[in-house]
């Protein structure tokens, strides 16, 4: 099993200066853009993206070409790059922003050309100060070289790009919350419908919202054709994908592979096995929102559909491995605390539910749990996500609330002993 380097090739080959425009240009950088501008046929670009069958890399896995097709006609249309990567376990966009910002910017320009957009925003989470600086510098260089601004490379096409920094709210990764945040409002997800920002987005104008990794793939697809891209990976999960591997592995990191291999092979090959030769107790296949798989389920294939069929999601491509010694109650509590902290507070089931789940888990983790706590946990989870199904049913505007349910159902379905063992059979009498 080998990596297939499309997006991370350049940064591997030029570890010292992959972020500079000179290095990028020397290595076929901005050539896809020149080709697109020369041929001057936006429809072709959209068709290449459709042919590539690329699905969004932010988490939902929506087909990018279809999304672009939804973009409504309007004088003002916008592109917003979602760089609010905050899903625990995920750090793939961080390297794309920090190490190869021009790849993203070229993708942005091509996307805007294809969809006749004149203004783009790159929204980067506030904590990514260094990556944001790199992107900012790269944007400046691109202006100086005439890749951005008025009449790009002597054509009639003009584009402005603004780098915008978030301020520490995970929820702004939800696309409508991100748009509110960009409008200078609280980062609260919008009520749906309208379902698609492509119809009604930023300032209620048609807006494309795409993930950093998705748009970083655009130059390669345009340069090599959508058909070539679709040959990589497997049907339904074409192309390469950058997986962030963390947890109890010997060699954590970002690895770009074609989708379709098994998680076990991935963890062994790239993670170089588990620390101290331990075994895997459980692992998270796609970020903290995703239900866990057990150590017996390592042969599941890393594709969007295989993971979904097995009852979880590939999400943001963050694989977190937990070894045999991990206290899964603490692990679940950490994830639930995350969602309790990040709940925007609009919907009662999420705002109240996640807080109560956190407090009950805290009680159990500190050894003061009650046997009735387990049914209480289930009851609260059921109020947030009725039936505890996957994919989750929702009583909330966005999927943040149901995401807090995932670790608890994972725990109770497969590792219920762990939680009951932490509950004392005799309740200590405190004075």
Partner 1 sequence: MSWEKELIDKANEIIELYPEKRSALGPLLYLAQEKDGYISNDSIIQISNLVGITEVQVKSVASFYSMYKEEQTGKYLLSVCKSISCEINDSRSVIDSVKNFTGLENYETDNDKVFTFEEVECIGACGGAPAVQVNYETVEGLTPEKSLQMCEWLKEERPELVVADELQEKFGGVKSFDWAIKDNTGSSYSVPGFQNIGTAKEKNL
- Is residue 252 within the footprint of partner 1 (CB under 8 A)? yes
The residue within the footprint of partner 1, chosen from 1, 12, 22, 276 (CB under 8 A), is 12
Q: How far is the CB of 339 from partner 1 (least distance, A)?
A: 9
Burial class of residue 308 in the structure, from the number of CB atoms within 10 Å of its CB (0-12 exposed, 13-18 middle, 19+ buried) = middle
Q: Which residue has the tokens 């087909």?
A: 63
A 10 A CB-CB count for 204 gives 14
DSSP structure class, residue 19: T
> CA triplet 109, 122, 157: central angle to 5 degrees?
25
State in angstroms the smallest separation of the CB of 84 from partner 1.
10
41 interacts with partner 1 by CB under 8 A: no
Pick 221 or 307: Cβ nearer partner 1: 307
Tell whether residue 182 is a contact of partner 1 (CB under 8 A). yes
* Smallest separation, CB 21 to partner 1 (Å): 14
Q: Least distance (Å) from partner 1 to the CB of residue 91?
A: 4
List own/partner pairs for 53-56 with CB under 8 A and 24 or more apart: 53/226, 53/229, 53/230, 53/236, 53/238, 53/239, 54/214, 54/217, 54/221, 54/229, 54/238, 54/239, 55/237, 55/238, 55/304, 56/210, 56/211, 56/214
Residue from 9, 57, 99, 241 that binds partner 1 (CB under 8 A)? 99
**Out of 9, 102, 125, 241, the residue judged to bind partner 1 by CB under 8 A:** 125
DSSP H helical ranges for 212-297: 212-216, 218-224, 226-231, 263-270
The one among 335, 374, 388, 405 contacting partner 1 by CB under 8 A: 335
Q: What count of other Cβ atoms lies within 10 Å of the Cβ of residue 145? A: 15
Buried b (16+ CB within 10 A) or exposed e, 392-422: bebbbbbbbbbbbbbbbbbbbebbeebbeeb
Query: In the set 72, 162, 191, 427, which binds partner 1 (CB under 8 A)?
Result: 162
86: contact with partner 1 by CB under 8 A:
yes
Among 259, 320, 357, 374, which residue interacts with partner 1 (rule: CB under 8 A)? Answer: 320
Contact between 315 and partner 1 per CB under 8 A:
no
Nearer to partner 1, 94 or 102 (CB): 94
Label residue 336 left, alpha or beta by phi (over 0 means left) and psi (-120 to 50 means alpha): alpha
Separation between Cα atoms, residue 27 and residue 42, nearest integer Å? 24
Query: CB-wise, 49 or 245, nearer to partner 1?
Result: 245
The DSSP 8-state label assigned to residue 159 in this structure reads: B
Do 139 and 181 form a contact (C-beta atoms < 8 A)?
no
| 52 versus 281: smaller Cβ distance to partner 1 | 281
Per CB under 8 A, does 136 bind partner 1? yes
**DSSP conformation class of 313:** -
User: Which residue stretch of 60-68, 89-97, 206-214, 414-422 sits at the interface with partner 1 (rule: CB under 8 A)?
Assistant: 89-97
Contact pick of 168, 194, 367, 424 for partner 1 (by CB under 8 A): 168
Q: Which one of residues 6, 215, 288, 300 is an interface residue with partner 1 (CB under 8 A)?
A: 288
Single out the residue of 277, 213, 282 nearest to residue 247, CA to CA: 282
| Chain residues 364-423 in contact with partner 1, contact rule CB under 8 A | none
Map residues 59-78 to x or -, x wherever contact with partner 1 holds by CB under 8 A.
-----------------x--
**Residues in binding contact with partner 1, number by CB under 8 A:** 79
Q: Does the protein bind partner 1 through residue 218 (CB under 8 A)?
A: no
Nearer to partner 1, 79 or 318 (CB): 318
Per DSSP bridges, beta strands 253-258 and 280-284 are: unpaired
Token reading at 431: 């004075």
Beta carbon nearer to partner 1, 222 or 332: 332
342 to 371: interface string for partner 1, x by CB under 8 A? x-x---------------------------
């Amino acid at each position: 099993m080998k990596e297939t380097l499309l997006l991370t090739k350049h940064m591997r080959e030029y570890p010292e200066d992959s972020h500079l425009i000179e290095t990028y240009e020397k290595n076929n950088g901005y050539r896809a853009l020149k080709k697109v501008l020369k041929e001057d046929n936006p429809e072709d670009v959209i068709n290449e993206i459709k042919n590539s069958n690329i699905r969004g890399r932010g988490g939902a896995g929506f087909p990018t070409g279809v999304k672009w097709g939804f973009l409504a006609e309007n004088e003002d249309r916008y592109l917003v790059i979602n760089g609010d990567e905050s899903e625990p376990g995920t750090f793939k966009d961080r390297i794309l922003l920090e190490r190869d910002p021009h790849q993203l910017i070229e993708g942005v320009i091509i996307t805007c050309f294809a969809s006749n957009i004149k203004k783009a925003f790159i929204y980067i989470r506030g904590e990514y100060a260094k990556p944001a600086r790199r992107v900012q510098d790269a944007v400046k260089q691109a202006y100086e070289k005439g890749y951005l601004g008025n009449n790009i490379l002597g054509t009639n096409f003009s584009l402005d790009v603004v780098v915008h920094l978030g301020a520490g709210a995970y929820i702004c990764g939800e696309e409508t919350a991100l748009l509110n945040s960009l409008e200078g409002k609280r980062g609260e997800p919008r009520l749906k419908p309208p379902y698609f920002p492509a119809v009604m987005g930023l300032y209620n104008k048609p807006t494309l919202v795409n993930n950093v990794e998705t748009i970083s793939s655009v130059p390669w697809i345009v340069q090599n054709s959508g058909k070539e891209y679709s040959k990589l990976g497997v049907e339904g999960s074409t192309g390469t994908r950058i997986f962030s591997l963390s947890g109890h592995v010997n060699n954590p990191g970002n690895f770009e592979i074609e989708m379709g291999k098994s998680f076990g092979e991935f963890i062994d090959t790239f993670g170089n096995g588990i620390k101290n030769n331990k075994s895997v107790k459980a692992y998270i296949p796609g970020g903290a929102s995703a239900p866990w798989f057990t150590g017996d389920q390592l042969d599941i294939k890393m594709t969007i559909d295989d993971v979904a069929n097995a009852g979880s999601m590939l999400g943001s491509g963050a694989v977190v491995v937990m070894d045999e010694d991990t206290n899964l109650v603490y692990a679940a509590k950490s994830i639930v605390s995350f969602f309790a902290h990040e709940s925007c507070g609009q919907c009662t089931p999420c705002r109240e539910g996640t807080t109560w789940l956190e407090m009950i888990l805290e009680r159990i983790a500190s050894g003061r749990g009650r046997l009735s706590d387990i049914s209480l946990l289930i009851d609260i989870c059921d109020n947030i996500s009725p039936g505890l199904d996957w994919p989750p049913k929702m009583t909330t505007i966005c999927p943040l609330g149901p995401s807090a349910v995932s670790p608890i159902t994972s725990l109770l379905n497969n590792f219920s002993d762990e939680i009951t063992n932490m509950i004392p059979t005799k309740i200590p009498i405190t004075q």
